[in-house]
Amino acid sequence: MHELSIAQSVVEIVTNTVRQENLHRVLVIRMKVGAMVGVVIDSLKFSFQAITVGTPLEQAQLTIEAVPFQIQCTTCGRVSKIDDGVVQCPLCNSFETCVVSGNELTVTAIEISDD
């Protein structure tokens, strides 16, 4: 259960970032998840909900931004979105590429209500 352990890490990050007395005021937790990480976003959300029931984070919404896998070709310089994970430039077929995005797995913001 890859997603469950990620959900547990998210809870840990939030718990370590937000003071205990403010945990119940967390409204939204924003994350970026890259396409190459292999996370099923719906199952990550489900896991997060499941493990926060009955905790101060019960009301918190996990908002996940899916980041596409993108490579930049060092031969033609173009950036391409890749769906199959093959690091070959679809424009000039070069394998001289580097990964631009798609490996993200980070909590980017935690929003807390004012009152």
CB of 28 to Zn ion, least distance (A): 38
Q: Of the two residues 28 and 92, which places its CB atom closer to Zn ion in the complex?
A: 92
For 77, left (φ over 0), alpha (ψ -120 to 50), or beta? left
Q: Binding marks (x or -) toward Zn ion, 24..63, rule CB under 5 A? A: ----------------------------------------
Using DSSP's 3-state secondary structure scheme, residue 33 falls into: strand
Label residue 50 exposed, middle or buried (CB < 10 Å: 0-12, 13-18, 19+).
exposed
By CB under 5 A, residue 74 contacts Zn ion: no
Which of 40, 50, 86, 92 binds Zn ion (CB under 5 A)? It is: 92
Cβ atoms of residues 89 and 76 within 8 Å? yes
Using DSSP's 3-state secondary structure scheme, residue 38 falls into: coil
CB of 59 to Zn ion, least distance (A): 47
Which of 26, 36, 57, 73 binds Zn ion (CB under 5 A)? It is: 73
The angle that helices 2-17 and 41-52 make with each other, rounded to 10 degrees, is 60
Residues that bind Zn ion (CB under 5 A): 73, 75-76, 89, 91-92, 94
